[in-house]
A and B are shown apart, each in its own frame.
Chain A
Amino acid sequence: MNLHRQLALLAFAASTAAASVAQAATLGYIYVGPEKDYGYNTSMDIGRQYVEKSIAGTKTLHVENIAETAEVEKVMERMIKQGGASIIFATSYGYLDYAIALGKKYPKVAFLHAGGLKTGDNVGTYWANSDDAMYLAGMAAGAASKSGKLGFIAAFPIPQVVRSINAFTLGAQAMNPAATTTVVWTGGWLQPPKEAEATNSLADAGIDVIGEQVDSPMTIAQTAEKRGIYMVGKDVDVSKLAPKAVLTGASWNWGPTMLKLTKEIQAGTWKPSHVRGDLKDGSVVLDPFGPAVPEGVRKTVLAKKDDILKDKFVVWSGPIAAQDGKPVLPAGTKMPMEQLESMNFFVKGVVGTVQ
């Protein structure tokens, strides 16, 4: 081959290589609720923006308010066919079966589902365990409560929520062994009037610190601030809305996990699996302390956080007793994964029904 042809081939190869490197992926994000809900969906959207900024040239498509019905399949398909998305983030639990079905139809597209327990050839899941952060937040709550009575406002008694309540209570009891947590169910993920009234009811019952797990902590935070009681947030940092009331919180940090998965998929090294983050890898963050948390308590909580990060302390280790006092986990043992993922009982000190 003469030099001319060699140079031409080289130029052609270089331009093709450059094109494939410069061609960043299009990502599709689907949210079950409003993306500006100041809660769960916002946390997923923050992750999306993180990935968009981190990889130059990345384009993201995002659609909100897609119910967990067959509609989501159509939305995902539109993103793939018309939007050119090669990675789909299905950010709500109820999207799993639709993602797996569509995954079979589009084997070249990668599907990442939040919180699922099934995978496919091109469908993986990602989630984060917030129990450690809820335990630490519970410690701050237990220390801040003068009455020893805590409260928790939540949507549905699913295992994730039950675990949060239990972790919160165990943490509080580490600072005050007599601490109790009264649970109020609102029956829906986004019910601001019920959340406001639930906060008022708990405050009337002499409860001075509230934890929560609903779609957004903003209504509860603002009502707590109005009533002069404290609260612990979740999903996003809500201290701006309630600067006096918020002690701390357990916030999501999906960005790094999403970025890592995106990079693996683009590099071709991704294998579908259940990716689970936690406090240790930074997928969950303990929010900065509010003004009501004294220095001594901060030191104690941060020391415990350090123990958790160094595997010197495990939240779900015995002895743990159920609401009625019956031992559930003997001293020195750790709770097995199946029992953890299907938790349907409250620990001792929690007041309320788990149905």
Chain B
Amino acid sequence: MADTSLLQGLPASALRSAAPLLLVLLGECLTQRVGRINLGVEGQMLVGAVAGYGVTALSGEPWLGMAAGAAAAALLSAVYALLTVAARADQFASGLAVWMLGLGASAYAGSGLVGLRIEGFAVGAAGLTPTLWLAVALVPLVALWLYGTRTGLAWRAVGESPGAARAAGITPWRVIVAGIAAGGLLSGLGGAALSIDHTRSWAEGMTAGRGLTAVGLVIVARWNPWLTLPAALLFGLAEALSLRLQAGGSAVPAHLLHTLPYIASLAVFAVTCARLEGGGGPAALRAVFAR
């Protein structure tokens, strides 16, 4: 009986683990689509988590917290934009700087929040909450926007070749800044979903590498917003499995189970890169690596 209820709860558990990651993944996907690789999403996610948690604790309104988290992370992403667009600094160094900034700022701001109680979102049917639906709903919205609208086309064009886009009358730097900001907003939503909804708590560095995982998973999702959902679910499922198998009394060593999400992502990554020439990313992004 325990086994069936463990299996029954697995999809919801996978979704719960995947939802914050999915939001960050969508954001980084958009940022990379305009030709920028932002390693600072980890810091942005943390800033979103602390801001969201704090505002929810103060106001009692979880949606207000989500909005605050998105805004705070977008603000941090502006630092990355300033560095890479205005100052033309190296993308990796700028991303790392933003990551460190976010880590420190969130820890400082959050020290008074540890141990506060919040109500968060009401749990709906099957243990699912509004942030899950938000994340899942955003996938088709972002995908349809990227592939079906003129602005989406402009973004993709800038990601392929800023020069050609400029020739077509698009101002590349505006698009790039917008792409970075979109990434900021979404990573903030992801962080806020983590602290307000998933754990209902704040702890320093609580994202535990999820932001960085998103940067890698964008490749697994082949820079396609549609594929971010299966990519995030893959990771969430592996994480949920590693915990559920233990809860069910499995004899597999826990250390091995903990590597499951990363091995799964690496396997898909390897297959993806083997099949596509150079991994198949936007050309301007590839140029960042081919120095």
Contact = CB atoms under 8 A, between A and B. Distances in A.
A184 B257 CA distance: 11
Which 5 pairs show the lowest CB-CB distances between chains A and B?
A185-B254, A204-B9, A201-B247, A192-B199, A38-B115
Given A185-B246, A200-B127, A201-B9, A353 B201 contact: no
A242 B246 CA distance: 25
Interface of B: 1-2, 5-6, 8-9, 13, 16-17, 20, 107, 111-112, 114-115, 117, 123, 127, 194, 198-201, 203-206, 208, 210, 239-240, 243-244, 246-249, 251-255, 258
B122 to A, nearest CB: 10
Interface in A23-47: 33-34, 36-38
Given A184-B246, A198-B243, A241-B115, A223 B200 contact: yes
Interface residues of A, number: 44
Contacts of A241: 115, 117
Contacts of A187: 254-255, 258
Interface string A137-169: 000000000000101000001000000000000
Interface string A31-72: 001101110000000000000000000000000010000000
Contact of A34 (B111, B210, B240, B247): B111
B107 A34 contact: yes
A218 interface: yes
Nearest to B7: A204
Given A351-B249, A353-B253, A205 B2 contact: yes
Given A190-B206, A197-B239, A226 B200 contact: yes
A355 B247 contact: no
A9 B251 CA distance: 78
B112 to A, nearest CB: 8
A126 B128 CA distance: 46
Contacts of B248: 182, 205
A33 B206 CA distance: 12
Nearest to B248: A205
Interface string A193-230: 11111101110111100000000101100110010000
Nearest to A238: B115
B2 A197 contact: no
Contact of B17 (A197, A204, A351): A197
12 contacts: A34-B114, A37-B203, A182-B246, A184-B254, A193-B208, A197-B16, A200-B16, A201-B244, A205-B248, A218-B114, A223-B200, A353-B253
Contacts of A294: none
B50 to A, nearest CB: 12
A204 B244 CA distance: 9
B238 to A, nearest CB: 12
B121 to A, nearest CB: 11
A222 B243 contact: no
A191 interface: yes
Most buried by B among A36, A193, A198: A193
Nearest to B118: A222
A191 to B, nearest CB: 6
Contacts of A191: 208
B247 A219 contact: no
Contacts of B243: 184, 186, 194, 197-198, 201
A190 B107 CA distance: 14
A197 B257 CA distance: 14
Given A186-B243, A219-B199, 11 more contacts: A37-B203, A184-B246, A185-B255, A185-B258, A187-B258, A190-B205, A192-B201, A200-B9, A205-B2, A218-B115, A355-B253
Indicate the member of B114, B203, B210 with the most A CB atoms within 10 Å.
B203
A33 B127 CA distance: 32
A85 interface: no
B109 to A, nearest CB: 12
Nearest to B12: A200
A149 to B, nearest CB: 8
A198 B244 CA distance: 7
Interface string A75-96: 0000000000000000000000
Contacts of A219: 199-201, 203
A355 B254 contact: yes
B201 A218 contact: yes
B249 A222 contact: no
A352 interface: yes
Contacts of B258: 185, 187
A320 B171 CA distance: 75
Interface string A101-126: 00000000000000000000000000
Contacts of B20: 193
